[in-house]
């Protein structure tokens, strides 16, 4: 299959490298100079240093050429860049099926990726979300990984899951697009909270409680928006949540760890050098939860720390001293 991967960041490069062993893959990025460097060095030194890229992977700065040649398009840009990417795709009269791997809401509109596709590509029905517990670095290095591919077209999901699976990358088909998107977005917020918890050295008990109650928050909002409860018990819910709240490769967890040390948010983000989707997602989710009447105390507290200067110790006290209530 001819794949066009749009976005040469960590995740786009990792997936392109993984699929290049059994597909014809072209990787597009907006920075032609970086693509030239990747072509010459066979490594993405900015996002995936130390991870050699296969010789078969092609790098192409020509957006139109990549799209026109593709039998499947994979959008791997950050959530904030999804709208302009879809607008560019809308200029092409005949698009193949497309997948998106970004995790989050559009800043400002609070729209999920499938909603943006419905708005900008209303006639395009063959699409889906690819999500699940996955660090780009480990995928690029060929470590075993399992993901979920969700589409409203179950037959398409099954076909693409089979085609994109490999020896070290296993993909499961699903039809709950909303649930998969919500899980992928909200786990980043919970990863920030877990980083704060561990940065304050509150112990394993506290982290376990945080993960469990974070999953409850994710599920409440997801079901309210139309997702399925069981989706949040799967790879794109609990699986992704466990990974990002406990693994130090998580950029969002790193944000929390540094917040706990008293670092300024702007400094943290500039030093990371990567997009931490949980920062923008937290604000959108808190507003959406308020609109929907869904109680999300962890998300609300993370927002207060990120944007209102609430000290980490006070944030923990506020969460622990909430009114006692039933667990379910």
Q: Are strands 169-174 and 24-28 parallel, antiparallel or unpaired?
A: unpaired
Which of 2, 103, 111, 187 is an active site residue?
187
Burial class (CB in 10 A: 0-12, 13-18, 19+), 266: exposed
Active site residue 187: yes
C-beta separation of 95 from 124 below 8 A: yes
- Tokens 């980043």 belong to 188
- Tokens 């110790």 belong to 313
Q: How many residues does the chain have?
A: 328
Among 190, 196, 206, 203, residue whose Cα is nearest residue 300? 190
- Tokens 């786009």 belong to 12
CA dihedral in degrees (191, 193, 198, 200; nearest 10)?
Answer: 160
203: phi then psi, degrees, rounded to nearest 5? 100, 170
Q: Which two tokens stand for residue 176?
A: 């709950």
What's the half-sphere exposure (Cβ side, CA atoms, 13 Å) at 204?
Answer: 0
Active site residues: 187
């Amino acid at each position: 299959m001819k794949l066009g991967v749009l976005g040469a960041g960590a995740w786009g490069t990792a997936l392109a490298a993984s699929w290049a062993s059994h597909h014809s893959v072209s990787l597009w990025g907006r920075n032609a100079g970086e693509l030239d460097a990747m072509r010459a060095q066979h490594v993405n030194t900015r996002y995936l240093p130390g991870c050699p890229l296969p010789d078969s992977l092609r790098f192409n700065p020509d957006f139109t050429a990549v799209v026109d040649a593709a039998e499947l398009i994979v959008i791997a840009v950050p959530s904030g860049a999804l709208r302009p990417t879809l607008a560019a795709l809308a200029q092409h009269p005949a698009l193949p099926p497309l997948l998106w791997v970004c995790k989050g809401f559009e800043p400002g509109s609070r729209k999920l990726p499938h909603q943006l596709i419905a708005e900008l590509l209303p006639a395009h029905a063959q699409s889906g979300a690819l999500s699940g517990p996955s660090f780009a670095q480990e995928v690029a290095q060929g470590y075993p990984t399992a993901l979920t591919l969700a589409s409203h077209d179950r037959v398409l999901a099954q076909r693409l899951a089979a085609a994109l699976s490999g020896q070290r990358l296993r993909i499961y088909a699903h039809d709950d697009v909303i649930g998969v998107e919500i899980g992928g977005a909200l786990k980043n917020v919970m990863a920030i909270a877990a980083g704060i918890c561990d940065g304050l050295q509150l112990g394993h008990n506290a982290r376990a409680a945080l993960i469990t109650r974070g999953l409850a928050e994710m599920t409440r909002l997801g079901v309210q928006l139309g997702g399925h409860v069981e989706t949040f018990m799967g790879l794109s819910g609990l699986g992704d949540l466990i990974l990002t709240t406990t693994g130090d490769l998580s950029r969002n967890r790193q944000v929390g760890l540094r917040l706990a040390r008293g670092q300024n948010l702007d400094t943290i983000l500039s030093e990371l050098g990567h997009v931490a989707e949980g920062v923008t997602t937290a604000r959108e989710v808190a507003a959406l939860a308020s609109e929907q009447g869904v109680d999300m105390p962890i998300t609300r507290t993370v927002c207060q720390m990120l944007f209102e200067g609430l000290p980490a110790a006070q944030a923990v006290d506020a969460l622990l001293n909430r009114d006692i209530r039933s667990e379910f």
